[in-house]
Each structure stands twice: as C-alpha cells, then as structure tokens.
C-alpha cells in the first residue's frame, strides 16, 4: 500500500473529452499480413538472437497491471469507467523502457537473462485544489506477490512524478464556448451568416468556438476563443477560421465562474459584447468577408483530365520476396549488415534499439522525442499558438497505412497495440518495413574501357502520425554503406489565420493572403530525436572538424610562392555539454569517434552527423512567452550530452500542462557537464548522447491550399560512417553492372572467374590486349526470366478493404498522451 504523505505522491486527474473529426482510413488487409503475397515471404523462420526487452506490453500484461493497481491500491478510489473529469482512473499503462545500464550486460556481454520488465502507469486523481496527473512504475512483471507500485520520479529532473492539470472538465469548456456563441448569435448571423447550434455541434452549417489557452503566473489561464466553421465534413476546419474572437477569464478552476470579456474583430478590440453590437450598428462599420467552405478545400480532384492522367504511374514491385530477415514476434530486423529492434510508445511512436552494422555497435537508441509547432501572428489565436504533439500521442495517433500508397504493396506491415482506459486498442498495419531502390545510383564510374553502375537500394521503417491537421510521415532509412537517415515529411491542412481587411500592419509580416478571407500564418516545426550513439562501443568523443582558410609556407613551393593561400582541417573537441548549430558554409564536420577503437589504417572509428535533405531548423523565437521552459531543446540544431539513466528523454507530454515548470526541464539536462572522460577526477565514462532537430520554417503560400505537400516539407539528418570501416562496405552488397566499352585496347573485367585474384599484371594485360567475349558482368543477382505478376501487386484493390473510423484530435485541450476522459 502506498502511503500518501503529501501531494508529492498524489495521483493525478485528467481533463479532457475526445472531440472527433471524422477521419476515415482503410483497414486494408488481414492484420499483420502483407496485402499481396505473390512470393514466399520469409519462407525460413528467422529468430532474433535476443529478446526484445523494449517491446510494448502485451494485452495480458496490461490487464494484469490494471488488475493489480485496482486490487492492491483500492484507497485510490479508482473507477474503471470514468463519467467525468472529476473521477479518478487509470488513464493508461505501457512499458517502462529498461535502463541502459541494466540492459547492456544482456546485449553485449552475453548476460544470461534480460533486465527486469516494468510497466509505466499514468493515473488521474482529483484533490481539493483540482485534478492532477502522475506517473507510477509497476513491477517487476509478470505480476506476483513481490510486485510493487512506486512513484516514477527518477526519470524526471523536476523531482516530482506529477503535474497539476489546468483544466478540470473539457466538456464544460465546450459547453461554455457554445453558450457564449449562442449569446452573440445576432452578431455572428450578421457578420458570418451563421450561428452556433448548441443542440447539434456537428451541424455542418453551424459555428464552433475553440480556445487558445494562455497560462498566467497567478494560476489558471486566459482563453481567447475563435469562431470556426466545421467544414462540411471535409476536415478542413483549420482552413476555416472566422474573424471573431472572444476573451474568457478562466482563472477559476470552476467553469461556472468564468466570464466573457473583450471581443476582437477586423483589427479592433471591443471591451464587451455590448460595445461590439453598438459598433456594428454604425453605418460606417467596416466588415470583412466571411470565410466560406467550398471546393477549394477539397484534397481530391476527380474531374480534371490533363494528358497522361488516363494512365497509371510507375510502381515498384518485389517479385522474389524480401531480402531482409524479420522476426515478427521480437520485431528484429537484419539487412545487409544492419541489425536492430523495433518498438513503440503511445506518446512518441516508433523507436529503434540496439542498431549494429557488420556486427559492431552503432546506436543503442534512435527515436522521436517531441514534435513542436510554434506560430506567430497579430490576432489573438495565432499570436501565441503552439503545439507539443506528444501531448496528443504521436504513437496512438499512428493509424493504418495505405498499401501501394503510403508504402509499397509488397511491404511488411506491423500492427500496434496500446492500452488506455482499461482497454487494449488495436491499430492494424500502422508500421511498414520495406526495401526500395532509389531513382539514382549509389555510385557510378565511367573509365576509358568500361562503365560501372551500382544500384542504390535501401531499407525503410515508416509510420504516419496524424495529429489534428497534419500527417507526419517518419522514416528511419538504412543504406548499404552503413549510413542511417532520419526523415520527416508533413502533409495536411495548415492552421491558417483569418484575413483582416482592416489591415494596419505590413501586408506580409506574418504570412500571405491565400484565399478570399484567409491568410497563412508563419510557424516553425521543430521535431526532436534522440540518437544514443555507441560508435564501436560505449566510449565516444565528439569533435568539430573545421575546414579553415590558412596562409601557409611550404619549402617545395619556394621561391615561386613564398606563401600559399590554402585551407586545412582543425579539430575542436567538444569538452562540455552544449547546443550546436549547423555551421556557416557547411564548414564543419560534426563527428562522434570511438575513444579506443581504430580501423586498419589507425584512424578512429567514427560516425558523422550530417545535414540531410530540406531544412533542419531550430526555433526562431527567443525565450518563447508561450513555451517557457517546456521545449528548450528546440533552441539549437544539435545537442551533445552525457548519457544517464535518469535522463532518458528530452521532453514529456505533461510539459504541455506546465510549460513554465515542466516535469522535464531540458536546461537541467544540458547544463555544461564535462565530456572529457579521460580528465583527472572525471566520473564521466564517455557514454554520450545526441539530440537533434529536423523540421521547417514554414511560411505557407497559395500552393499550400488545400494541403501542404510532402516533397516541399521533407527534412532529414544523416549519420554517416567516417573511418568506421576499412573501405566502402557497400561493395560486397550492392547490385550493379560493369559494361565493357568497344575499343582496340578494351579488355576484360576485374573479378572475372578466369582471372587470378590479386594478379595485378594479369589484370592490366587483360585491359589493354584487345576485346573479350564478355560484354557485361553483373555483381549481385539479376532478373533472368519473365515473371507473371498479379494485378494486386501493381494496384491493391481498395474496394475489398474494410473502413474503420478514427478519432483524430482537433488540437485543443481535448486529448493527451497523459490523460483523457471521454463522455459517450
């Protein structure tokens, strides 16, 4: 029994009601199966060398944890079926990822048994001063008489396992918003041609109002509510803001004590609804056009027929089955030297663990930490708008993937389970795994007598998280040379601003006019990932290798050039925890080296952190008024820190509740601790961790209507081997061809069966003594006969798939990775 000595041990409560936007995606095939099976996939059963110690809880494990909490901790007065935000309940349970120090002996030192398995529980409870939410750890698993439930504090540098929930009853807020809208129905009818329908909020012709909360130091917060049209079923609500805003005093936790104050319209602030009505009656009152839905928000065009649309586009096929090996039970993957485990979490989605290449350690962990969007504007909504998307759940909002579209039809699709509100929720086919050949080569070379071309084939682990208006496609990509790439692409409806006709500012200060009554709103997307690098082992150093100009004197250059203007490499060791930005002119290499392992040439084995595609921004806003200390990781591009069991993440979903006093404060992690593990008296062992950001400075334009496009929003960071291998390891894995060119001195090929291995003289003679009978030599297998492919391999039939409705959050206080209650 847990003794609650103070509110430090309280379990917390929730806020919210899940408001649904009717989003439909397909459940396209039997769960856990590939939709097209025209080859023998994984004919040989493949087994992981070890247990996946990071795997999500099974349904039976989750049920046993829930049962244990109810049975052994009845004093918490929990209910299994909460009816309001004032009920105490278990919001959800999931795996508490084991500490790295408890795992490495099992992974790397042939330890006989895996680390203990524990569960993490988020529990909601109300107290006299309001609702709270807290984390607890339950274990060891399986549940026995020795299992315990303890406050989960050690991974939070705030020193507490809980936060206070600023909203007690989201349903009451919605009712308040509709009542407020009804009270000004005369104004909305006059200016917008519509009113709120409190009896039927889903009325496609009605208005809704949504709040942007602003926390205040005295407790509680102020709400600015903006009117929206529901979007006629198009899910385009964030493209349909209306130009009326109402300010609500929400400092009391009791919604019945809230009051409506100022109104804002067309650049003018009115002290009350009465003043607004008086101004509206003036014949000289300046109006703005209403923002009306229509075909312009449709994401599909079924009618246009430009030349070429009558034919289907090219597609990729995999006739002989996959070349990777996959243990579906343990979610372990092996492909051309790479090996890794896949796991998931409700807040952050897919993570990878124990990544190795050619048997050597590369990374212990690679995964999403947080996805932030921060807006700017001169109206009450856009002026302080920000989102931390793990609050809504990047994992639990990763829905089914569409075969042949999201991923190739031949991909392996993985199901995901998560456990909330006493139920196991099953999301089929929400992760895909596939090999793909790029439309550009890995390498090529044209010589005097031959041309060599090497195909660029890579492996991808993909998921798509739909958080309100955006769909984030997250890829972990593996290349044959040992390179890893993390790439995020976004598509969806922008969160737009109402266009103000009475414009007193510079026309394009925050965005552009993109429709009759709509303006774009500039914002930063900063998406944070963790890369726990273990380059050839746990002891690593980070250096900045700079390309710098220099004036140098060389004896061999005299007397013609007493001094030569040139450049050289200068290495700067990163000696303390720091945030680093991408260098000007790409003038530095960021390298993580092994402290004690070298390649055959005596060079330190390393990996380079390299900028990939798109932009890789950090937050433009300095000391964000809205974010406070909840996302300081967004202020630089790359961070290097000591790796600690007590600092497993850079952020937590509950930071959204208390941004000025977050449960994880990144500034307490990146606090300039020493990174010189060979220094006298240093207790640091050389195990460092990298946090890095991808994203975009997004200034939407007319091309973002109706949807932002993925090829313009892609952003990636790569981890590239740097002296990690003795030579390019892709040579032994890549597929390609060497073509002999016609000529009087054109000879044979290096590597032909008739050629003695390593005989340089023979090789040179064959290249110069005339043509050979061999015209092409392939390295790797080729397709050598025709293959009959069923139609489903080219175009899976969507007509045969069953649709299921998903609850998609509307990006307000209506859902979180920490706690919700849902009023049926």
pLDDT tens, position by position, 268-304: 999 999 999 999 999 999 999 999 999 999 989 999 9
Q: In the chain, how many domains are there?
A: 3
470 catalytically annotated: yes
Q: Is 198 among the domain residues?
A: yes
Residue 252's pLDDT is 81
378 domain residue, yes or no = no
Res 687: pLDDT:
97
Domain that holds residue 183: 170-302
Q: Are 220 and 152 in the same domain?
A: no
Q: Report residue 250: phi and psi, to 5°.
A: -115, 30
Same domain, 14 and 158: yes
Asked if 468 contacts 808 with a C-beta cutoff of 8 angstroms, the reply is yes
Residues of 750-776 as b/e, b for ≥16 C-beta within 10 angstroms? eeeeeeeeeeeeebeebbeeebbeeee
pLDDT value at residue 205: 87
Residues lower than pLDDT 50 in the chain:
1-40, 748-756, 767-771, 814-824
Give the pLDDT confidence score for residue 614 in this predicted structure.
Answer: 87
Let me know if residue 58 belongs to a domain.
Answer: yes
What's the pLDDT at 505? 57
Domain boundary among 246, 268, 302: 302
- Whether residue 231 is contained in a domain is answered as yes
Q: What pLDDT score was predicted for residue 213?
A: 78
| DSSP string of 464-493, one letter each residue | EEEETTEEEEEEEEEETTS-EEEEEEEEE-
Which of 165, 193, 227 delimits the end of a domain? 165
What's the pLDDT score for residue 648?
A: 97
pLDDT at site 235: 76
Of 117, 142, 165, the position where a domain reaches its end is 165
- 229/281 same-domain check: yes
| pLDDT at site 615 | 86
140 and 180 share one domain: no
Instruction: Choose, from 38, 68, 136, 470, the residue flagged as catalytic.
Output: 470
What is the SS3 assignment for 117-161?
EEEEEEEEEEECCEEEEEEEEEEEECCCCCCEEEECCCCCCCCCC
Regarding whether 179 and 132 lie in a shared domain, the answer is no
- Residues in CB range of 225: below 8 A, 6 or more apart: 177, 180, 209, 210, 211, 212, 245, 246, 247, 248
Give pLDDT, residue 42.
55
| CB-neighbour burial class of residue 173 (10 A; exposed 0-12, middle 13-18, buried 19+) | buried
Look at residue 27 in the predicted model and tell me its pLDDT. Answer: 35
Catalytic residue, candidates 87, 389, 412, 475: 389
- Whether 290 and 204 map to the same domain: the answer is yes
770 domain-assigned: yes
Q: Can you tell me whether residue 710 is helix, strand or coil?
A: helix
Bridge partner list, 783: none
Same domain, 124 and 219: no
Q: Which CATH number covers residue 81?
A: 3.10.450.40
Residue 72 main-chain phi, psi, to 5 deg = -90, -10
Is 354 annotated as catalytic? no
Which of 486, 239, 454 shows the shortest CA–CA distance to 350?
Answer: 486
Residue 394 lies inside a defined structural domain of this protein: no
Is 283 found in the same domain as 175? yes
Q: Which residues contact 696 (CB under 8 A, 6 or more apart)?
A: 490, 524, 525, 614, 615, 617, 713, 715
The residues that bridge with 492 in the sheet, in sequence order, are: 470, 708
- Do 107 and 231 reside in the same domain of the chain? no
Residue 296 and residue 191 share a domain: yes
Instruction: Quickly list DSSP for 189-253.
Output: HHHHS--B-TT-TT-TTSBEEEEEEEE-TTSSEEEEEEEE---TTSS-GGG-EEEEEEEEEE-SS
In a domain, 692, yes or no: no
Does residue 134 form part of some domain?
yes
Q: Verify that 14 and 152 share a domain, yes or no.
A: yes
> What distances in angstroms separate CA 492 from CA 188, 238, 708, 812, one per listed residue?
28, 10, 5, 17
Q: What angle do CA 570, 571, 576 make, to 5 degrees?
A: 145
Are 160 and 12 in a shared domain?
yes
């Amino acid at each position: 029994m847990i003794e609650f000595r103070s509110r430090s041990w309280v379990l917390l409560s929730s806020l919210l009601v899940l408001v649904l936007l009717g989003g439909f995606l397909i459940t396209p095939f039997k769960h856990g199966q590939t939709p097209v099976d025209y080859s023998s996939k994984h004919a040989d059963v493949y087994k992981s060398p070890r247990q996946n110690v990071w795997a999500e809880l099974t349904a039976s494990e989750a049920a046993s944890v829930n049962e244990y909490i109810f049975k052994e901790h009845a004093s918490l007065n929990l209910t299994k079926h909460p009816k309001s935000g004032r009920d105490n309940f278990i919001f959800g349970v999931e795996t508490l990822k084991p500490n790295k120090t408890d795992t490495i002996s099992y992974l790397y030192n042939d330890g006989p048994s895996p680390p203990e398995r524990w569960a993490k529980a988020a529990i909601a409870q109300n107290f006299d001063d309001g609702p709270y939410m807290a984390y607890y750890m339950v274990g060891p698993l399986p549940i026995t008489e020795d299992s315990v439930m303890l406050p989960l504090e050690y991974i939070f540098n705030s020193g507490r396992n809980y936060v206070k929930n600023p909203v007690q009853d989201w349903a009451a807020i919605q009712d308040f918003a509709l009542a407020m809208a009804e009270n000004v129905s005369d104004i909305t009818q006059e200016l917008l041609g519509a009113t709120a329908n409190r009896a039927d909020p889903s009325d496609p012709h009605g208005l809704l109002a949504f709040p942007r909360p602003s926390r205040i130091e005295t407790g509680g917060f102020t709400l600015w509510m903006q009117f929206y049209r529901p979007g006629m079923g198009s899910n385009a609500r964030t493209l349909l803001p209306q130009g009326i805003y109402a300010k609500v005093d929400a400092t009391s936790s009791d919604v019945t004590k809230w009051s409506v104050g100022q109104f804002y319209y067309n650049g003018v602030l009115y002290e009350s609804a009465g003043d607004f009505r008086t101004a509206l009656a003036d014949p000289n009152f300046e109006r703005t056009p209403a923002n009306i839905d229509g075909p312009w928000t449709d994401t599909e065009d079924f009618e246009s027929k430009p030349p070429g649309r009558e034919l289907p586009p090219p597609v990729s096929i995999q006739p002989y089955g996959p070349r990777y090996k996959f243990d579906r039970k343990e979610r372990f993957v092996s492909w051309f030297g790479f090996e890794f485990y896949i796991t998931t979490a409700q807040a952050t989605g897919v993570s990878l663990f124990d990544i190795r290449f050619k048997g050597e350690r590369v990374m212990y962990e690679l995964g999403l930490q947080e996805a932030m969007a921060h807006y700017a504007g001169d109206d009450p909504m856009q002026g302080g708008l920000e989102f931390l998307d793990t609050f809504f759940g990047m994992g639990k909002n990763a829905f089914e993937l569409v075969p042949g579209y999201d991923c190739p039809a031949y991909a392996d699709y993985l199901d995901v389970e998560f456990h909330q509100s006493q139920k196991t929720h099953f999301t089929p086919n929400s992760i895909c795994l596939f090999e793909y050949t790029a439309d550009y080569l890995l390498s090529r070379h044209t010589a005097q007598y031959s041309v060599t071309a090497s195909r660029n084939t890579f492996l991808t682990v993909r998921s798509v998280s739909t958080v309100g208006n955006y769909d984030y496609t997250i890829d972990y990509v593996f290349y044959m040379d040992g390179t890893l790439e993390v790439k995020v692409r976004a598509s969806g409806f922008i969160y737009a601003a109402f266009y103000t006709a009475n414009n007193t500012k510079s026309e394009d200060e925050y965005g552009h006019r993109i429709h009759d009554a709509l303006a774009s709103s500039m914002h930063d997307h900063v998406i944070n990932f963790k890369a726990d690098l273990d380059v050839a082992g746990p002891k690593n150093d980070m250096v900045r290798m700079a390309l710098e100009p220099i004036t140098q004197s060389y004896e061999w250059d005299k007397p013609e050039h007493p001094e030569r203007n040139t450049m050289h490499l200068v290495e700067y060791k990163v000696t303390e925890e720091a945030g680093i930005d991408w260098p000007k002119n790409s003038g530095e290499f960021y390298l993580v080296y092994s402290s004690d392992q070298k390649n055959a040439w005596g060079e330190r084995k390393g990996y380079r952190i390299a900028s990939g595609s798109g932009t890789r921004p950090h937050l433009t806003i300095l000391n964000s008024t809205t974010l406070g200390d909840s996302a300081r990781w967004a202020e630089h591009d790359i961070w290097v820190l000591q790796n600690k069991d007590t600092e497993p993440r850079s952020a937590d979903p509950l930071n959204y509740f208390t941004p000025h006093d977050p449960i994880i404060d990144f500034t307490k992690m990146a606090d300039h601790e020493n990174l010189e593990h060979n220094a006298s008296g240093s207790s640091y062992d050389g195990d460092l961790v990298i946090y890095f950001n991808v994203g975009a400075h997004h200034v939407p334009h007319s091309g973002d209507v109706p949807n932002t496009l993925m090829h313009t929003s892609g952003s990636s960071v790569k981890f590239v081997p740097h002296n990690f291998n003795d030579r390019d390891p892709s040579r032994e894995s890549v597929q390609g061809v060497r073509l002999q060119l016609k000529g009087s001195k054109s000879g044979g090929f290096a590597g032909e069966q008739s050629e003695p291995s390593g005989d340089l003289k023979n090789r040179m003679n064959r290249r110069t003594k005339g043509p050979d009978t061999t015209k092409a030599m392939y390295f790797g297998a080729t397709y050598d006969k025709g293959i009959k492919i069923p139609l489903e391999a080219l175009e899976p039939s969507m007509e045969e798939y069953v649709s299921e409705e998903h609850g998609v959050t509307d990006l307000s206080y209506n859902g979180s990775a920490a706690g919700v209650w849902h009023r049926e």
